[in-house]
Amino acid sequence: MQGKPMQIISICGEDDSSSSRCILQLNEDELNKMFTDGKIKDRVVSVISVAGAFRKGKSFLLDFCLRYMYAKYGHNNLSEKDWLGDENAPLEGFSWRGGSQRDTTGILIWSDIFLYDNPNGEKVAIILMDTQGTFDCDSTMKDCANVFALSTMISSVQIFNIQSNIQKDDLQHLQLFTEYARIAMEDTVKKPFQKLQFLIRDWIHKSEAPFGALGGKQLLEQTLIRKDKRPEENEQLCENLKTSFNEIDCYLMPQPGYGIEEPDFRGCLKDLRDEFKKHLRDFIPLILAPENLIIKEINGQKLKVDHLLKYIRLYFDAFNSKECPEPTTIFKATAEANNQIHATNAEELYESKMTELTSPDKPYIPEEELKRQHEEYVEQTILCYKDKPLLGKIYFLMKYCQKIKSYCSSRFQQFRQLNEAKLALAEVNYLSHMNKCILD
Ligand code: GDP
Ligand code: MG
């Protein structure tokens, strides 16, 4: 395994009670290096995140995910059947023990980005994301809501890792970030987030529902879906969740066995119960097998790696510029990035039309005609931008139409010069031709 965990965002709350500012740090250099790599940047991206309370086996699970990823998409010669690895190999990857001390709150990604070329021609980059945070104490609640919100916004699959059962406070924590989603919803018919995967660890109520995806479905039915069964106080919460995520699944995991309690436990398979291993083999491909990958979308459009970088930067700025961000701020940041990308893409239309019109092999165009063409292309460019599924249209339409116009007029000056140079050149040619005629 050559990769390593990389902290891309760290969050710490200021303890000063007069303010509720969160201080965020973005590891921009590393992110830039990874996400603008020529092999990766133009691929559509699938981001799998695991979030939830501290010390509940998130990183531990992700390290088994890494084994699957290297076996399936890497070149480590493990056949798919034995991807879970050697019985005696210690578990490595994201750090998963760390004692009872909490690590820095934040978001990490695995530095190796996995590549998959879909037979339908789509080139995919897969990113695994670990989060650190806790919900156990009020002072850190805000940081954790931020970690949760940020990781949900960045990912295409959010695995919500919880202990024992779906409790009311788990749902309340979810409500914190679905609030962000609800606001994004005002502007679009699409659900803002893609897949929410509940992962229940140490499930013991086997008589109520069996381990695995089927049992998970049953539990979900009872807690979220069936109106007659779910508690009334969860009503609004459940409705919010369902309108925020495209897909919600649940998986019931057995207890890993008592081996994990031994002081010298290193995560070797031999120390885990067969039942647990069986369900690792079952669960992980449900998320990571090629046919189950979910490409990150924003407002129905698939996202490429370098666009994801733009979003992360904007989310980051939104979180950092204010008090802990209001949902509107997050929504605006998403919308702004969305508009920016569509405007830049549209400008390429103007660029290519005008470049063609004024290319060296084309004749000089009279000034008036050039201006007319320019105006027509500006109009087409603006239409091309407006035609895209734009988030937050009411906030950004004017701003980006203006931006496109001023971009086009500044480029027009250059195209005009190119065109005028042709006239000057034609004059020189004409004069030299006349000279030649006189001399002859
Ligand atoms: P994280 O803080 O959620 O990332 O938790 P870690 O992955 O660091 O794991 C914390 C501890 O939980 C480790 O000592 C693991 O051995 C243990 N652990 C891992 N998976 C499970 C599980 O499914 N059930 C229980 N009870 N413990 C687990
Ligand atoms: Mg961890």
pLDDT tens digits for 374-388? 999 999 999 999 988
**At residue 198, what are phi and psi to the nearest 5 degrees?**
-70, 135
**At residue 164, what are phi and psi to the nearest 5 degrees?**
70, -50
- Ligand nearest to the Cα of 271, by number: 1
Identify residue 258 by its one-letter amino acid code. Y
Query: Is the CB–ligand 1 distance for residue 212 below 6 Å?
Result: no
Tokens of 373: 């063409």
Say how far apart CA 280 and CA 114 lie, in whole Å. Answer: 20
Is this complex scored with an ipTM above 0.95?
yes
Per-residue model confidence (pLDDT) at position 320: 66
Say how far apart CA 301 and CA 98 lie, in whole Å. Answer: 39
Residue from 50, 55, 59, 60 whose mutation best tests the ligand 1 pocket (most atoms within 8 A of CB): 60
Per-residue model confidence (pLDDT) at position 144: 65
Per-residue model confidence (pLDDT) at position 427: 78
Distance of CA 379 from the midpoint of ligand 1 (Å): 58
Counting every residue, how long is the chain?
440
Q: Give per-residue pLDDT as tens, 139-165.
A: 455 566 677 778 888 899 999 999 888
Per-residue model confidence (pLDDT) at position 328: 55
β-bridge pairing 5-13 and 22-26: antiparallel
**At residue 364, what are phi and psi to the nearest 5 degrees?**
-60, 140
Distance of CA 425 from the midpoint of ligand 1 (Å): 75
Identify residue 320 by its one-letter amino acid code. N
All residue ranges of the chain with pLDDT < 50 are 17-19, 137-139, 181, 184-186, 189, 324
Tokens of 51: 């979030």
Query: Is the CB–ligand 1 distance for residue 201 below 6 Å?
Result: yes
If 0-12 CB within 10 Å is exposed, 13-18 middle and 19+ buried, where does residue 128 land?
buried
The answer to whether the pTM exceeds 0.90 is no
Sole residue written with tokens 């390593």: 4
Query: Is the CB–ligand 1 distance for residue 98 below 6 Å?
Result: yes
Per-residue model confidence (pLDDT) at position 349: 95
Residues 153, 154, 155, 161, CA torsion sign:
negative
Q: Which ligand 1 atom sits closest to the C-alpha of 56?
A: 3
Using a CB cutoff of 5 Å, list residues around ligand 2, an ion.
58-59
HSE toward the beta carbon, residue 401, CA cutoff 13 A: 14
What single string gives the DSSP state of each residue in 225-255? I-TTTS-GGGHHHHHHHHHHEEEEEEEEPPP
